[in-house]
Structure formats: C-alpha cells, structure tokens
Amino acid sequence: MSAGSDLARRLFKTLADLTADPPGVTRVAYGAGEQAAHDLVAEAALAHGAERRVDAAGNQYLILPGQDRSRVVLIGSHLDSVPHGGDYDGVAGVLLGLALQADLVAEGRTPPCDLAVLCLRAEESCWFPHSYIGSRTALGLLDPGVLDGVKRSDDGQTLAEHMRRLGLDPEGVRAGRRLYEPARIAAFIEPHIEQAPALLDAGVPVGLVTAIRGSVRFREISIGGEYAHSGATPRALRRDAGLAGARLVTAMHEMWDRFEADGLDLTVTFGEIATDPAQHGFSKVPGALHLCLDMRSADGGALRRAETELRDAAGRIAAETGTTIRLGPRTDSAPTELSEGLRACLADAAAARGVPVLALPSGAGHDAATYAGAGVPTAMVFIRNRNGSHNPDEAMEQADFEAALSVVAAALADPRLLADGRAAAA
C-alpha cells in the first residue's frame, strides 16, 4: 500500500466516524458535516505541502505546486452527502486526488503543472433543489436568482444565507467570480464510485465514463380533484386525483416502453407519490395528489420529446378525469459527452498498469458535466462499488480504489494529457 493509499484508507474511516448519522452518514450541504469534511481533507493536504484556496462559494482547492504554475489539473468531487448516505459517494474522488498528491510528495516528484484536489459544495440536490451548485459556482455560472430563490430543504434558509453563515461571499458568486478561468484548466478528472452494478457484473474494477445523462425534473406536480365519499359518489361524478395520478404514471411508463423499443435512451422515475395525510382517508375519494418526476437521457432530443409527451398526457388526463394537473417548476441539466482524448489517456494508462476497464455512460448526474459543458477537457473514472449509492451499504474495496489511483497517476504522466490544454479533448 502506497503512502497515498494508506492516507486515503485512514481518512475514509475518520470521515465516516466524524459525520456518522446511523444508519449511515449525513453531510448537509453548507452544513456542519460538509464543513467538517472540508476541514479534515485540508488539514491532510497542508501536511504534505499543498496550498489551500477557497472561492466565493466555499469550493476548496488543495494545490500541489507543479513545474508549470500557469495551468492546473483538477481532480476531485463533492463532500456533501444525502441523508444517511454511504462512506464513498463523492468522498472517493476527493481522497483519490489527495492520495495522488501524497504519493508524488513521498516519491519526491513534482507534477508537470499544478495539481489541485477540488472539494466541491452542494452537489446533492436533495438539500438545495438545483443541479450542480458546486461546479456552477466554481466556474462562475450559477444563475444569480438561485442564491435568494432556492432554500435548503431542512431549514428553509436560502443558499445566500447559508453562505454568509460560513463567512463566504454570495455577492462574489452573484458577480460570477472564480479562482480559475476555464482556459487555465488543462483537465478535470472526477473519480467516483459507480452507482449501478455494471462494473460488478462485468468483473472489472474501473470504468471510464463516456457521457453523463441530462435530466428534466418536476418536483412539485400537483393534481387537484374533489374529496368525496367512497361509497356514495357515483363514478361519473368523481374528480379523483388519485386516478389521475395513476394514469399519468402509467402513461409515462408506456412512453418509456416505446422509447426503449425505438432504441432511445431514457429513464422515468416518479420518486414521490402522495395524498395529503391531513385530509386523506380510507373512505374518501382523493381530492389532491403530489408527485415528483425525474426523467433522464443521454439524448437531448429524447428528453425534449419526453417532456412534450408529458405535457400532452397531463392535459388529456386532466380533461378525462375532471381534475387539474399542474406540473409546477421545471429544472434541467443537459446531456454531456466527456473528452475522448482524456478517456484515451486513461485507457492507455490502465493497459500499461494491467487494470481492466469498461467504457460506460453515467446514469446519474455529476459536476463533471458542468466542467465539460464549459469547454474544460473532462473525464470521469468509476470505481467498482456494491449495493448502489446514496445508502449506508455502499461498499467500495480498497483494492479497487488503488487500481483507479494507479490509472489516474499513470495518465497524469502522459504528455498527451497536458500537451495543449484543449488538444487533449479533441
């Protein structure tokens, strides 16, 4: 085990203990747990000679000086978690970058350019209902309206208020300030545990991500009907919100069947389906229903078509059932292709190190999508993981982490990666 691998192993355990919230861990975005994680990894990086910089939004850069200080390679991910999440989501990417720095220092080697471990804020949109807050603030791309218009789910305080509590600079975020211009970033590599079983099924420790699915989300779909007695109200006179919701769910899943038959990439998920507990009852026709819908695809055209079908279905079903269907606020993220050039560097590095890899898309969203969309050469490295993610049972093996570390380390030494900031992405 290298010095870096040993450091990462110890920090995984320390961070899990520090932010334990049985049955898992909880690191609320812009909360105490996320801040504790930032402080812990900063202390470890400073100990091996890294410099620490923090941007207006609180994204943290732990920089190992390189031979060429005009350019930087970013390696990292986010440090917040979902409630009662696992030990590895997000954290694995940050600690892999930290392990790489520690190994370079232990071997007395200076990276070809600055190597910065990037610790991003607020990637998990369960806390603030907006995608990629950390990477968008890091690149100066956050919609200023989000600062005062988006509130944290657990306390109702705005994003700007939480930034101020931590001594950060929401006005700097509003003005689009950033520490690194995209042109200075030679590459961004985001290591991350895989969140599906593809690598496990293939018996392969490392994945190289080809693309990140985009999304269209409606978190506050409301269906209004009329409460009525379950036995006394004839069918023809009912305005059943539950029936309307069931038909909408069915219509969207039938659409998914058609998309799959046509070879189109799509997922459809109604993550919340709820009647009002203050008014519903065993013997009542439901008068109100809440839904949330998350549709994802690597094909922007498929997402647009799916949204059109959703709106058509909502109008048709509302008319058929005598209800109202309001889709509510819409959020989205664009599908993103990652750098073929960087993926080639990583694939060749894996072959040189004897590490089997699998090329695959990411069904989940990641901050890497923001960097790629901003024109930064971007790659993602998946690490094999059992039991999915966003749950206490995440199970990444140390040996697989070390395999991914060896691949990224070898790629960093590949002259193609740094030959010409943007040429590597061609």
In what helix (H) or strand (E) does residue 70 lie, and over which residues does it extend? strand 68-78
Calculate the alpha carbon distances from 194 to 90, 274, 384, 385 in Å: 11, 30, 6, 6
What CATH code would you report for 3-213+335-425? Answer: 3.40.630.10
Over residues 146-155, the pLDDT tens digits come to 999 999 999 9
Structure tokens, 257: 């069947």
CA 338: distance to chain centroid? 15
The yes/no answer on whether domain 215-333 falls in CATH 3.30.70.360 is yes
* Residue limits of CATH 3.30.70.360 in the chain: 215-333
Instruction: Please spell the DSSP secondary structure of 100-168, one letter per residue.
Output: HHHHHHHTT---SEEEEEEEES---TTTSSSTTHHHHHHTT---THHHHH-B-TTT--BHHHHHHHTT-
Q: Give the residue range(s) of CATH 3.40.630.10 domains in the chain.
A: 3-213+335-425
What the block records as the tokens of 359 is 């090329």
Low-confidence residues in the chain, pLDDT < 70: 420-426
Q: Which ranges of 322-397 does DSSP label H, i.e. alpha helix? A: 340-353, 368-373
Q: Alpha helix (H) ranges present in 166-299?
A: 170-174, 198-202, 241-261
Length of the chain: 426
pTM of the predicted model as reported, rounded to 2 decimal places: 0.86
Residue 77 CA: distances (Å) to CA of 7, 119, 123, 124, 234: 17, 6, 9, 11, 56
- Per residue in 61-97, is it b (16+ CB within 10 Å) or e — as a string? bbbbebeeeebbbbbbbbbbbbbebbbbbbbbbbbbb
**What does DSSP assign to residue 339?**
P
Q: Mean of the per-residue pLDDT values for the chain?
A: 96
β-pair partners for 365: none
pLDDT tens digits, residue range 391-402?
999 999 999 999
CA distance from start to end of the chain? 35
Tokens of 184: 């200075």
Query: Residue 227, exposed/middle/buried by CB under 10 A (0-12, 13-18, 19+)?
Result: middle
The confidence score (pLDDT) of residue 420 equals 53
Closest CA to 120 of 142, 95, 102, 138: 138
What is the reported pLDDT for 426? 40
Long-range own/partner contacts, residues 276-279 (CB < 8 A, 24 or more apart): 279/227
Q: How far is CA 119 from CA 58, 63, 195, 237, in A?
A: 9, 11, 20, 57
Question: Angle between the 3-18 and 398-412 helix axes, to the nearest 10 degrees?
Answer: 130
